[in-house]
Amino acid sequence: MRIKPEQIARTLKTGTSSMYWLSGDEPLLMQEAADQIRTNLRDKGFAEREVFNVDKSFNWDHLAHATANLSLFATQKIFDVRLLGAKLDDSAKQAIQQFLEQPNPDYVLLLSSPRIEAATLKAKWFKQIEDAGVFVQIWPIQRENLGSWLEQRLLREGIQSDSAAVAVLMDKVEGNLLAAVQEIEKLKLLANVKDGQLVQLDANTVLQVVADSSRYNVYQLIDAALLGDAARAQKILQGLHSEGIFPLVVLGAITRELRSLLPMLQQKEQAQIISGIVQTAHVFFNRKQVVANALHRLSTAMIWRMLDHARLIDQSIKGMAVANPWDELSSLLLTISGVSIATNRLTANSHIIASV
């Protein structure tokens, strides 16, 4: 059975499954979901827990032997299996399937893994495992939902915030929910919040107290540009630069996205409906708005010009052109965002070094 994180509490009330599989890349949400399940199981008598950290050298026979070892005193136990990778080899699949085929009411298997790829979710072996247990997909909180998430967290700690305070807090903790929780705890301590009391939080306090702990990735960068949010795209690019990300990684992600848009734009230029194009292209639900926005604004001719610019940026990264790659990436992202640029410095002014 596949459920959403907010359905965990209700699912636990209906009974105890022999297996719970949590999948996602957001550490805080994964940790809280696992804690919720473990707490519920402890309340039901599962007092013991055995933890397995699974890497490439892990022997799945250890889990098989542990789950087959019946206790004389029928001790209820949780087998907490933490996968470092989302892909399972044959021995892993066999060990999990064996556990589910021979269920023991005194044992529960709790699996935690990074995000499972779409192809794996459709695989026959995974469908069998999913049908026999509970599978929870945990997605990162998107920016459009981060504000309400922060408001709820603040209220939980007795802090009521205005919209300006939430907006500032979002900018300082986006992409780093662990830091967000820590900063909220710090605000609670500074405000000396007492039980049953609500204190007010304004933007000035957030600016003075909360450190900038935001963390971004290239996918957030691309989405910001495709949405036409130039200022946000530039901020994320600056953050990636300061974190020491190699510019070729950023450029590679941008060019892959631009090339993926080309066939969709060709369909648009053939008078096909954008919503239908996005649906046919199997765009993930959380990116449909992003891609649709880009399709409305861009054309195939614009994409080809951007790809030509990207080619020259690639040469600058590899030392074949005299230009600053980060400045040129900034210029390319402005173009993707829909900001008109007077001239392209790289194509107009830089000297291309002939390869030997």
Neighbours of 192 (CB within 10 A): 8
C-alpha–C-alpha distance, residues 46 and 129, integer Å: 22
Q: How far is CA 44 from CA 41, 77, 177, in A?
A: 5, 11, 30
Q: What is the pLDDT of residue 71?
A: 58
Best CA proximity match to 327, nearest among 315, 344, 311, 339 = 344
CA 25 – CA 114 distance, rounded (Å)? 5
Per-residue pLDDT tens for 295-342?
A: 999 999 999 999 999 999 999 999 888 889 999 999 999 999 998 775
Share of the chain above pLDDT 90, in %: 59
**Which H helix or E strand runs over 50?**
strand 48-54
Say which amino acid occupies 56.
K
Helix/strand/coil for 242: helix
| Mean pLDDT to the nearest integer, 269-278 | 92
Instruction: Name residues whose C-beta falls within 8 Å of residue 115's C-beta, 6 or more positions apart in sequence.
Output: 23, 24, 25, 86, 137
Residue 73's pLDDT is 57
Confidence band, pLDDT 50/70/90 cuts, at residue 348: very low
Q: What is the pTM of this model?
A: 0.72
SS3 275: helix
Other C-beta atoms lying within 10 Å of the C-beta of residue 38: 17
- The secondary structure of 56-115 as a DSSP string is TT--THHHHHHHH---TT---EEEEEEESSS---HHHHHHHHHHHHS--TTEEEEEEESP
Mean pLDDT (the chain) is 88
Name the DSSP class of 352: B
Span 34-46, average pLDDT: 95
Burial-class residue 130 by CB neighbours within 10 Å (0-12, 13-18, 19+). Answer: middle
Token reading at 86: 């989302």
**For residue 136, how many C-alpha atoms fall within 13 Å in the half-sphere facing its CB?**
29
Rounded to whole angstroms, how far apart are CA atoms 356 and 21?
54
User: Does residue 113 contact residue 86 with C-beta atoms inside 8 Å?
Assistant: yes
Taking only the tens place, the pLDDT of each residue in 147-191 is: 999 999 999 999 999 999 999 999 889 888 999 999 999 998 888
pLDDT tens string 74-121: 578 999 999 998 888 889 988 898 889 888 888 999 999 999 888 888
State the pLDDT confidence band at 351, using cuts at 50, 70 and 90.
very low
> Whole-angstrom Cα distance, residue 225 to residue 233?
6
* Chain-centroid distance, C-alpha 130: 22
Q: How far apart are CA 24 and CA 5, in angstroms?
A: 11
Closest CA to 13 of 40, 46, 47: 40
The secondary element (H helix, E strand) that includes residue 195 is none
For the chain, domains (ranges, CATH) are 2-138 (3.40.50.300), 143-209 (1.10.8.60), 218-349 (1.20.272.10)
Beta strands in 106-256 (DSSP E): 107-113, 134-138, 159-161, 199-201
Is residue 286 scored above 80 in pLDDT?
no
**What is the model's pLDDT at position 74?**
58
**Taking the alpha carbons of 60, 63, 67, 69 in that order, is the dihedral positive or negative?**
positive
Reading the block at residue 343, the tokens are 């001239």
Q: Are 129 and 21 in contact (CB under 8 A)?
A: yes
Which pLDDT value is given to residue 79?
94
